[in-house]
Amino acid sequence: MKIGYFGFNNGPVGNRADMRRILTTLDDSGFESAWTGEHVVLIDPQEAPSPVPPEFPMLDTVSALAFAAGVTENLMLGSGIILLAQRNPVVLAKELTGIDVLSDGRLIFGVGVGYVKHEFDTLGVPYEERGARTTEHIETIRALWTQDKPKFNGRFTTIDGVQQKPMPVQTPHPPIVVGGMSAAGHRRALAHANGWYGFALSLEDTEQALQNIAHESNRVERPAALGELEISVTPRGAVSTDEAKRFADLGVDRLILMPGAGDVDGILRFIDESDRNLTSL
């Protein structure tokens, strides 16, 4: 099983020195990947469903991935997850291509729809369009990443008669991972992505989600070029070796671990313990 780490761009490590310590430690360990978290803005004062207080530090995903590309050599670098409907897909394709090139092909493009309406209102993006925008933006970016003469005619973006070079290092493109627990999210992952990502799930939640994905697979035609759907999960809380094996038995390919609240030294201990107990599974 692949083991990842979630949240290297936020909380107590949302600064240059501590981010470097975390990333270089992960890079020298058996961890396969490191993932950002993302909210462009946070609601002040905090109100549901916003997940963290407004003062919570969270560096931009693209800048954090660029920093990570420069201080690591081995880790896959994942956006976990970019709220894609809030982004300009043409600009984002260019930015993320830079990450893949500068990391020598280590980008994982994780995307999601988003669920905090006030964030969308602040950014001027219609909340009710977030699903349609996310789906179309994936295909816009795929066109820019794979077509010699990119052409795309969508509801939100039209591309014709332009170039965006260089292309990503990974072929046909960096892996695309769609997060989300809704039926629409499952269908989006099946139809448009290489993988699916479930966040803060128990074993029971994961089992149910995988059953739901299997059900939706009967309603969606999955392009053969996408291969088998890779399953990534951030567990809810700490994970023992036995629990990690049970996640694997359910069909989980990657556990993306999230440390509990604590300081940097506590996070480093969490990484060391997880490395010793889980990365050899």
Return the pLDDT at 238.
Answer: 87
Cβ-contact 190, 157 below 8 angstroms: no
Return the pLDDT at 167.
Answer: 98
Return the pLDDT at 237.
Answer: 84
Cβ-contact 195, 129 below 8 angstroms: no
Return the pLDDT at 261.
Answer: 76
Six token digits for residue 161: 């008669």
pTM confidence score:
0.97
Give the domain range for residue 21.
2-277
Return the pLDDT at 140.
Answer: 98
Cβ-contact 114, 99 below 8 angstroms: no
Return the pLDDT at 184.
Answer: 97
Angle of CA points 89, 156, 189, to nearest 5°: 60
Six token digits for residue 168: 């990503």
Residue 176: helix, strand or coil by DSSP? strand
What is the count of structural domains for the chain? 1
Q: 12: domain CATH number?
A: 3.20.20.30
DSSP letter at 167 equals: P
Mean pLDDT for back-to-back runs of 10 residues, the chain (281 residues): 97 95 98 97 96 96 98 98 98 98 98 97 98 98 98 98 98 97 97 98 97 97 96 94 98 96 92 95 86
Amino acid at site 265: D
Distance from chain centroid for Cα 142: 16
Which residues lie below 8 Å from residue 206, measured CB to CB, with a gap of 6+?
Answer: 198, 233, 247, 250, 252
